[in-house]
Structure 1
């Protein structure tokens, strides 16, 4: 199989034929009760490779806005830019030295900008969560929550925290990273969440998840950041595969939470929850303290692209990588002629062991690490040549947007 961190990820992500590892863990969609899988339905059960230990099930999950990050918007027409507050256009806010309040204060401040999504297609119905990112109605959520609603037969309803139920339209999504945007019709003056800087997250930091697990709206759970930079791959029943460079958390996440944000103790989005691990072999399994969220900085960049252009692209180095169990690193199967890797001197058969200071132990880790970089950024790769056993440092400038 091939993984290609060089290809724009506007469809199915490469690498669907990765070998799966037997594990007692499974992953489950978090969208809540669904009909049997069929054409045009929201994504169902998904499997994920996490190193050599986990198989995953996607879980949806509602989280919400922000403590200091909740913004009351000026009124104005949903069709006009005047008076619109859009958190994608605001700089990510650094966390203050001291959190403003505890979990109770976080929940009170963020809930107004959290929504529940009900998605219906000709074949099925599902639920998920989302965060309002502009006062005229743009909502950030997961692709697997709204999958199947991108045509005239799909219907999306959004329930606000104040109980109002409003129709929404599919805008665009990126199946490869499980990020989507929908827009509430004729909306104005809605509360908006503020993005935090996910690059500042530290292991052990307290976080809060707010969502609608199993349809129980406005549910609040808290925990810590358990780990960072977890490459998590999930495949749904429809064959679409996503790969996220995830934040791991032990905050309880259950089916129905997908698409909602993970927030810091100042109420700013630091991640969008997408996946959980479960011990159950079927049905609606619960949290076992292994949840995974898409970093906020990455979600913000992709959401902006989806709204602006209708598609998402990602930085590339111009190689095809293959899964090799006998290789400790990312095995380069081929190099695109004239691409960034070719210009830097990388060759087929090389094994990438590090990206900057980050350890790369398999090919998914390289794909995730490259996607999380900025366009045009120069990264330093530690590359091993298996034939000689020699390693070298290679500087590669990623493609620009």
Structure 2
């Protein structure tokens, strides 16, 4: 790191420069990358001196101002993501303020009500945090529509006002989002009635959104298309072996992207040939590990792991910091493989549809497909009845006048 240490860091941030180099090295950054980020660190220090800012004054607003100034003179490392290692380090050592809600800014009426509703959903309805956050996003526009100045006006809220809001907003939303928005709005209105904010039960007047479960067809790929994606990914580099293992898991076991992202080294039992999958809602399943899947995983893991790897995820980022891939990373691997062979941005869930469709057309029952996909109920599997070509073919009626059988049946 001798070359890195020659980059001058002066002024407000000088005392933390050596620690920042150690932080980057421990996170697995290459020397060249460390040098670039130390230069960025130094630029931030010079900017603080020019603006007469102390490190303790580097809040979110000041950081935005620095990035705006940097973009005028630099074309590289001028985004929030590029500055993230600097900010995370400086916050970890207490040099700059933590990223928290500013205490000197009062919580608005909208946030106050949504916070109270969210706490109710968590404690009284036992919803998970992610669901509550999504409900807040969906219901917030309705609450904002009642804002008058700095206060919320619920006096004039009646069935007509609710219906008018729904009619103005719901038709523009996708069917799935519209249905969830209606669900969130009804929940909010029930809560408002329970705490006496509105005098009438208005949840019943929220009209429904037309749309039928499983109205479409599962959009799988052909076996040839999957083979092309695997072949195009190859095995000639560490990253490609990782990506191939991801594709094999998705296409052979029908896993979801979140299942693959959540895999850890301890989930692989090579002695018994099984893999433990953590699914939605905390569901844990033990699945067999086919030979080709095991081989793809072994090829990936035989490359070794960076000494600075964080956690025990099976699939890691290919650049520092070496943390586990998230769902977006898994989806990105599949999308890139699809584009590589001219299929466009293929979604990870299409590989799940692919194995389900192939399995049912090979003669498996819906119950067996549901077990493969780890569905909790048969209702989730019923959509694949639409692509069961063998069984559908046995019940289809011939087109009138299409053959001798019609004449025998008296069709003319």
TM above 0.5: no
Higher-RCO chain (CA-CA 8 Å, sequence separation at least 6): 1
- Greater per-residue helix proportion: 2
Mark the structure with the bigger radius of gyration.
2
TM-score range, shorter chain: under 0.3
TM-score, normalised by the number of residues in structure 1: 0.19
> Which protein has the bigger strand share?
1
